Structure 1
Amino acid sequence: MQTLHGTNISRRSAAHRPPAAPQLAIPRVGAAVRAAASATAPAPAPAPSGSTLTNNGATINWHQLKLKHVVDSGDFNRAAVDVVFKEALKMEKVKPHTKESRILDGFIMSTLFYEPSTRTRLSFESAMSRLGGTVLSTESAGEYSSAAKGETLEDTIRTVEGYADCIVIRHFQEGAAARAAAVASIPILNAGDGPGQHPTQALLDLYTIQREIGRLDGIKVGMVGDLANGRTVRSLCMLLSMYSEVQVYFVAPEVVRMREDIKHYLSARGVRWTEVSDLREVAADVDVLYQTRIQRERFQNMDDYAAARGKYIIDKDLMRILSPNAVVLHPLPRVDEITTDVDSDPRAAYFRQARNGLYVRMALLKLCLADGHPEILL
């Protein structure tokens, strides 16, 4: 294991790490799932009404946190994450034909996806529908919108905001969501911008870790695969940096190692990170093993892709090394980086992770749209 920071990081961490904040009480479901004892799992802590929470005696409102848009993971602080998580817990309980399922009645969400998507697009659309809203969708905006005629992204956003109350955008260019937010008068939610950011995925990943492991402070996370192009791991690193005593291991082929900007981001916040070549060594030590796909579509040189693919695979043999209390996550889709015989292992949490995306995105839509409207009972 090659530690790149050594003693420097330990000296820096005390100076740069923010003071520990009270951990949000989110019930842990992973232990119950693994033990098949859901009947004895702790009940969810009661969530306050509306989009507020009490933090050290102060009431915090979503919009007081200046998060009109959900574009960049770096825009969040722990208080904002706590707001989202408490709302997500309530979203898990929303049933059809109840008043909670109609809180976004009359609101319209537009999805503009310039890249393929299954989980992100459908979970956003399901989230809107489950809260009573309406969806305007285009599956391949680059081909079936006026972008094919040369229309700029900015002009598309200015046009679509006349038809909808929020826009969920996925784009192949890094920074596209920020460009959209710069000209939009309605909320923009970033559903992935090239190899840049995927903040809603990071939030659902963090929510899943809390639900499965039971804490966010003091966890060890191994990030595996295409870290250079992986917007999910980049965004997750930014959120993890808000928590104390977090340690991150980067396990990647040479051609797709984590980019320097994220390493610097973590170092500046006192987060210990290490680049490692031995996946088995990491698996024996972590609480979370976060696998990612080697993204063929991001490579211009297919020789580099061939060199990276298949280097790190999670299979039954590796699962024997993983701690009994650890979990395996993956943003999906997978190709061959997790073998299908791992799926039956209770520590394989990636499909539960995908399900959590529905609740987190329901929470975000509620907060972005219904908050600030006193006539709507939250």
Structure 2
Amino acid sequence: MRHLISPLDLSIEELDEILSLGQAIMQNPEKYSHVCDGKKLATLFYEPSTRTRLSFESAMLNLGGKVLGFSSADSSSASKGESVADTIRVISSFADICAMRHPKEGAPTVASMYSKIPVINAGDGGHNHPTQTLTDLLTIKSLKGRLDNMTIGMCGDLKFGRTVHSLINAMVRYENVRFILISPNELKIPDYLRQEVLDAKNIEYVETNELEKYMPELDILYMTRVQRERFFNEEDYIRLKDSFILDREKMKLARDDMYVLHPLPRVNEISTDVDDDPRAVYFEQVHYGVYARMALIITLLGLKDKC
């Protein structure tokens, strides 16, 4: 039985197999519409979510399976003090696979230790978000045709942004990937990511607070919002929330084959006048996310032979 807690739980070969399966599903979704007949997915979301939760549910329904679960801690027995370990023991009796989002880092890891079914980390605090990473990789591979030999700009909240942390961990495994890390000083990537991942693997990167300067160099610009829910006080959030705003004028500095990604939701870090630019693919990215999760569910349930 396999779990997906971190992008590093999958080898490069396994990642490529899941991405290839995702692309195959995109090309012929009907072929996969009954792969999960009789299977159930539990969505255990202790923290609010729109895209991730509904993407998982859509993925399972598209595969012919069924879904159950809860959308907030208040609507679960967690409000009565039930532990994650006990919850997953119970859910293991109801479902065949589960996706868990939790505000505390490490909660899905705890769940995997007590679970009798595969556990998928759907986001734990500011730590990891591996299925968003699968979505990002499928988007990049489908649009650029490769995952190596590129310069990726990451802009906004790089300190608390779990999507950023997961994507960096995944992309450093490919050849000749360079990062431009654009953020206010207060929201730089965590030290462990700089020292234990980028420096340890001799990955080329630049830390800067100048978006415009590096726009012409980018193959991908990964925008993120400043996350209000991660701040301890409102004053710091208000001071930093508008640090970088991507607009039409800045897009004029970018190459014609540069794409803008965003894990969503956005607040005001991308102006709506960018939405009509063909290089703005953040809503298309949501579409790719369903296929990435369909491929992952099939893989973790051991159903690839049925495809």
Same fold? TM cut 0.5? yes
Q: Name which one, 1 or 2, has greater alpha-carbon Rg.
A: 1
Q: Quick check: 2:35–2:303 contact (8 Å CA) kept in 1?
A: no
Q: What letter corresponds to residue 179 of structure 2 in structure 1?
A: V
* Residue 308 (structure 1) aligns with: 240
Cα distance in 2 between the residues matched to 1:176 and 1:122? 21
**Unmatched 5+ stretches in structure 2:** none
* Secondary structure of the structure 2 residue equivalent to 1:347: coil
Q: Quick check: 1:76–1:239 contact (8 Å CA) kept in 2?
A: no
Cα distance in 2 between the residues matched to 1:114 and 1:283? 37
Following superposition of structure 1 onto structure 2, how do residues 1-378 of structure 1 map, counting pairs within 5 Å? 68-95=2-29, 98=30, 100-140=32-72, 142-264=73-195, 265-371=197-303, 377-378=306-307
Cα distance in 2 between the residues matched to 1:158 and 1:244? 41
Q: Quick check: 1:310–1:337 contact (8 Å CA) kept in 2?
A: yes
Percent identity over the alignment is: 43
* Secondary structure of the structure 1 residue equivalent to 2:169: helix
Q: Deviations over 1:1-32 (max 9, x none)?
A: xxxxxxxxxxxxxxxxxxxxxxxxxxxxxxxx
Cα distance in 2 between the residues matched to 1:99 and 1:345? 33
Q: Deviations over 1:321-376 (max 9, x none)?
A: 0111101000000000000010000000111111100000000001111438xxx6
TM-score of the two chains, using structure 2 as the length reference:
0.97
Q: What letter corresponds to residue 313 of structure 1 in structure 2?
A: I
Cα distance in 2 between the residues matched to 1:318 and 1:262? 28
Cα distance in 2 between the residues matched to 1:177 and 1:273? 30
User: 1:261: how far off?
Assistant: 1.1
TM-score of the two chains, using structure 1 as the length reference:
0.79
Q: Quick check: 1:104–1:370 contact (8 Å CA) kept in 2?
A: no
User: 1:99: how far off?
Assistant: 5.3
CA RMSD in angstroms, aligned pairs only: 1.3
Q: Quick check: 1:177–1:190 contact (8 Å CA) kept in 2?
A: yes
Q: Quick check: 1:205–1:236 contact (8 Å CA) kept in 2?
A: yes
Cα distance in 2 between the residues matched to 1:209 and 1:106? 33
Q: Which runs of 4+ in 1 moved over 4 A?
A: none
Cα distance in 2 between the residues matched to 1:163 and 1:263? 41
* Secondary structure of the structure 2 residue equivalent to 1:102: coil
* Secondary structure of the structure 2 residue equivalent to 1:151: coil
Q: Deviations over 1:86-110 (max 9, x none)?
A: 1101211344xx5521110011110
Q: Quick check: 2:25–2:31 contact (8 Å CA) kept in 1?
A: no
Cα distance in 1 between the residues matched to 2:113 and 2:60? 24
Q: Quick check: 1:94–1:101 contact (8 Å CA) kept in 2?
A: no
Cα distance in 2 between the residues matched to 1:356 and 1:238? 20
User: 1:172: how far off?
Assistant: 0.4
Q: What letter corresponds to residue 139 of structure 1 in structure 2?
A: S
Of 191-200 and 265-274, deviating more is 265-274
**Unmatched 5+ stretches in structure 1:** 1-66
Cα distance in 2 between the residues matched to 1:104 and 1:90? 16
* Secondary structure of the structure 1 residue equivalent to 2:42: strand
Q: How many residues align?
A: 306
Q: What letter corresponds to residue 129 of structure 1 in structure 2?
A: L
User: 1:320: how far off?
Assistant: 0.4
User: 1:377: how far off?
Assistant: 2.2
